[in-house]
Amino acid sequence: MSKLTFHQGVSLGGQVVTLDGEDISSALRALSVQVVAWEAPVVTIQPGVYEFNTEPSEIELGLGATKVHIAKETVELLKRFGWTPPVEEI
């Protein structure tokens, strides 16, 4: 079983999240904890995956392609949870 820890960093908004001792803070967009009496706590993490458009003029017409950027840190985090990245098209 993995160990997830989180605590306040040295600056305001500088929370540190570790998974099995490795800092994964830079791979996360958000983290929430739900605690309900008589139930196990539920931790939800939201990895930092960002979507951006490459051609704004085409996007406005509904014709443009959207690219998704996944930071290297996020890719590594997702792989730890069993995700397999898609094969790049050539």
Confidence (pTM):
0.60
The per-residue pLDDT string of the chain (90 residues; one tens digit each, 9 = 90 and over) reads 678 888 877 766 678 888 888 888 888 888 888 999 999 988 888 887 766 655 555 445 555 555 667 778 888 888 888 888 777 643
| Strand, coil or helix: 83 | coil
> In whole angstroms, what is the distance from residue 28 CA to residue 15 CA?
11
Say what the pLDDT of residue 80 is. 83
Say what the pLDDT of residue 35 is. 93
Specify whether the CB–CB gap between 67 and 52 falls below 8 A.
yes
